[in-house]
C-alpha cells in the first residue's frame, strides 16, 4: 500500500456535446474537479461528482475544492503521518475524514483516489475489490428537458437505435405528461422508460404524477423533497408505478429509514452522494437483503468517475440499467479512453484500480488550474 505524500487538485472544463437541462438548471460545459494522490512511486485518481453550482445539492465544484484543500487533504496527510509506515488504504479514508461534517462528494473523490492508488499497487481491480460479479452492465441514457416534445422524442428514438435499453426523462411541472406520453408511445416496447423529477413536485400539484402512473413507466424517481420520506410513502401508496429515491439516500441509515417507511421500492445509488464507494456498497448490501432493486446514478462524469460507477454497478444487486452511458453521450473527447456502447452494455474495467487513467493530452487541453498540496 503506497504512502500518501501529496495530493493534486486539478480543475478542468470539458465541453458537453449538447446542453443538459433538468429541474436544477442547465449545464453547458462540465466543470470537473479531479483529485490525484501521489506517494512512494504510486498514484491514484478520483473525480468529484459535484456540479458547478449548488443546485443539485449544497456541494459545488469550487466549494469542494476549498474543503479538500483546507480541511480534508490536511487531515488525510496528517493521518498518514500518524500510522505505521504512513499507509492509509481506501477503506480507512472515511474514518480519517469523519471529523469534517458533510461534504460527501469531496470526501468520495479523495477516497476514490486513495483506493485507486492502493489497488494499483497490489494489482487488483476496483470491481474485484468491491465484490463485483459482472463483466459488463446494461447502459441507460438520461435526457434533459428540451425545447419541444418533438425534440425529446427524436433524441429518445436515436439513443434506442444506438442500443440503449432504458431511457430516463427529466420532468418538472409544465414539462411532464406531454413529453413522457409522446416518448412512451414512440418507443413502445423497445426500451424501458422512467422519469426523474429531482424533487420538483415539492409543494406543487401531484395530478401530473397520477397521469404518468397510467403510462406503464419503469419508475418515478424523487418526485418530492429529499427529506420528505413520509410524503413519498403516502404517494407510493397511491401509485402503481414504483417510486425510486435518489437525493433522499445519502447513506445506509437513510436507505433503512426510507425502506422501513415504504417511501420507495427502488433505490438509485450514487457513490458521490453517499460519501464514497464503501458506503455505496453498504446501501447495496442493505437493499440486497431487503430484495430491493438498485441502479447506479450518474452525474455527467468523465471516464474517471464513469469507471468507478461501472465497477460499483457490477455488484449483483444492480439489477436495473443505470445512468451509465457511453462517453460520446456527453463528450466529443473524454479524459480517458472512451467507454463505448456494445450490445446495449458497457464493459467493466478489469485493470488494476479504476482500470483507466486520464490521457496527458486531454489533461493539457482541458485543465484550467492545478494546485499541489503536501
How does pLDDT run across 211-242, given as a tens digit for each residue? 999 999 999 999 999 999 999 999 999 999 99
- Judged against a pLDDT cut of 90, whether residue 274 lies above it is answered with yes
Read off the C-alpha cell for 41. 512511486
51-60 long-range contacts (CB < 8 A, ≥24 apart) are 51/24, 51/27, 51/299, 51/300, 52/27, 53/25, 55/24, 55/25, 56/24, 56/198, 56/247, 56/299, 57/105, 57/247, 57/273, 58/102, 59/103, 59/104, 59/105, 59/106
How does pLDDT run across 108-144, given as a tens digit for each residue? 999 999 999 999 999 999 999 999 999 999 999 999 9
pLDDT of residue 291: 98
Residue 162 pLDDT level (bands cut at 50, 70, 90): very high
Burial class (CB in 10 A: 0-12, 13-18, 19+), 200: buried
Distance in angstroms (rounded) separating the CA atoms of residues 302 and 131: 23
Residue 42 three-state SS: strand
Question: 47-61, 78-92, 161-175, 298-312 — which is least confidently predicted?
Answer: 78-92
> What proportion of the chain, given as a percentage, has pLDDT over 90?
89
Residue 204 pLDDT level (bands cut at 50, 70, 90): confident
Residue 130 three-state SS: helix
Active site includes 170? yes
pLDDT of residue 137: 97
- Judged against a pLDDT cut of 60, whether residue 83 lies above it is answered with no
How does pLDDT run across 310-353, given as a tens digit for each residue? 999 999 999 999 999 999 999 999 999 999 999 999 999 999 99
Question: Dihedral of the CA atoms 138, 144, 145, 151 (nearest 10)?
Answer: -70
In this prediction, residues 1-19 reach a mean pLDDT of 90
Q: Which residue has the cell 417511501?
A: 263
- Judged against a pLDDT cut of 90, whether residue 79 lies above it is answered with no
- Judged against a pLDDT cut of 80, whether residue 28 lies above it is answered with no
In this structure, are residues 279 and 314 in contact, taking their beta carbons and an 8 Å threshold? Answer: no
Distance in angstroms (rounded) separating the CA atoms of residues 116 and 118: 5
Residue 84 pLDDT level (bands cut at 50, 70, 90): very low
pTM for the full predicted model: 0.95
> What proportion of the chain, given as a percentage, has pLDDT over 70?
97
Distance in angstroms (rounded) separating the CA atoms of residues 51 and 62: 9
Q: From 149, 163, 147, 196, select the one nearest 19 (Cα to Cα).
A: 147
Distance in angstroms (rounded) separating the CA atoms of residues 171 and 176: 5
Mean pLDDT of the chain: 94
pLDDT of residue 203: 83
Largest CA distance in the chain: 62
Q: From 25, 53, 49, 56, select the one nearest 104 (Cα to Cα).
A: 49
Domain boundaries defined on the chain: 6-123+357-373, 128-347
Name every residue whose Cβ is closer than 8 Å to that of residue 253 and which is 6 or more positions away in sequence: none
Active site includes 30? no
In this prediction, residues 294-315 reach a mean pLDDT of 97
Distance in angstroms (rounded) separating the CA atoms of residues 88 and 97: 12
Give, in degrees to the nearest 5, the angle at Cα 317 between 50 and 48. Answer: 15
- Judged against a pLDDT cut of 60, whether residue 86 lies above it is answered with no
Would you list the DSSP string of 152-182?
A: HHHHHHHHHHHT-SEEEEE-BTTBSHHHHHH
Residue 123 has what DSSP assignment?
T
- Class (C level, CATH) for 128-347: alpha beta
In this prediction, residues 1-15 reach a mean pLDDT of 91
Read off the C-alpha cell for 31. 466543470
Domain 6-123+357-373 falls in which CATH fold? Enolase-like; domain 1 (3.30.390)
- Judged against a pLDDT cut of 90, whether residue 59 lies above it is answered with yes
Amino acid at each position: 500500500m503506497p504512502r500518501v505524500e501529496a495530493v493534486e487538485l486539478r480543475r478542468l472544463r470539458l465541453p458537453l456535446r449538447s446542453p443538459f437541462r433538468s429541474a436544477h438548471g442547465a449545464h453547458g460545459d462540465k466543470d470537473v474537479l479531479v483529485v490525484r494522490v501521489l506517494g512512494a512511486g504510486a498514484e491514484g485518481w478520483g473525480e468529484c461528482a459535484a456540479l458547478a453550482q449548488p443546485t443539485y445539492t449544497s456541494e459545488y465544484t469550487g466549494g469542494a475544492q476549498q474543503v479538500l484543500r483546507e480541511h480534508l487533504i490536511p487531515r488525510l496527510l496528517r493521518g498518514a503521518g500518524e500510522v505505521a509506515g504512513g499507509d492509509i488504504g481506501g477503506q480507512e479514508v472515511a474514518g480519517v475524514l469523519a471529523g469534517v461534517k458533510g461534504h460527501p462528494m469531496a470526501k468520495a473523490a479523495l477516497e476514490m483516489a486513495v483506493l485507486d492508488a492502493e489497488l494499483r499497487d497490489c494489482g487488483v481491480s476496483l470491481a474485484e475489490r468491491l465484490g463485483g460479479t459482472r463483466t459488463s452492465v446494461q447502459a441507460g441514457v438520461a435526457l434533459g428537458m428540451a425545447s419541444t416534445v418533438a425534440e425529446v422524442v427524436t433524441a429518445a428514438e436515436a439513443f434506442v437505435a444506438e442500443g440503449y435499453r432504458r431511457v430516463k426523462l427529466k420532468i418538472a411541472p409544465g414539462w411532464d405528461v406531454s413529453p413522457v406520453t409522446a416518448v412512451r408511445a414512440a418507443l413502445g416496447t423497445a426500451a424501458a422508460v422512467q422519469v426523474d423529477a429531482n424533487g420538483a413536485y415539492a409543494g406543487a400539484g401531484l395530478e401530473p404524477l397520477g397521469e404518468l402512473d397510467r403510462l406503464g413507466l419503469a419508475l418515478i424517481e424523487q418526485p418530492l423533497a429529499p427529506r420528505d420520506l413520509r410524503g413519498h410513502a403516502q404517494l407510493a401508496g397511491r401509485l402503481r408505478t414504483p417510486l425510486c429515491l435518489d437525493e433522499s439516500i445519502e447513506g445506509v441509515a437513510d436507505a433503512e429509514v426510507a425502506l422501513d417507511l415504504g417511501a420507495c421500492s427502488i433505490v438509485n445509488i450514487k457513490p458521490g452522494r453517499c460519501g464514497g464507494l464503501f458506503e455505496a456498497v453498504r446501501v447495496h448490501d442493505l437493499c440486497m437483503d431487503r430484495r430491493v432493486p438498485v441502479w447506479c446514478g450518474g452525474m455527467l462524469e468523465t471516464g474517471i468517475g464513469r469507471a468507478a460507477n461501472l465497477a460499483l454497478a457490477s455488484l449483483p444487486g444492480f439489477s436495473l440499467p443505470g445512468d451509465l452511458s457511453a462517453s460520446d453521450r456527453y463528450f466529443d473527447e473524454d479524459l480517458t479512453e472512451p467507454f463505448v456502447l456494445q450490445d446495449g452494455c458497457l464493459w467493466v474495467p478489469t485493470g488494476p484500480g479504476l482500470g483507466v487513467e486520464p490521457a496527458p493530452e486531454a489533461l493539457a487541453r482541458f485543465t484550467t488550474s492545478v494546485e499541489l498540496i503536501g
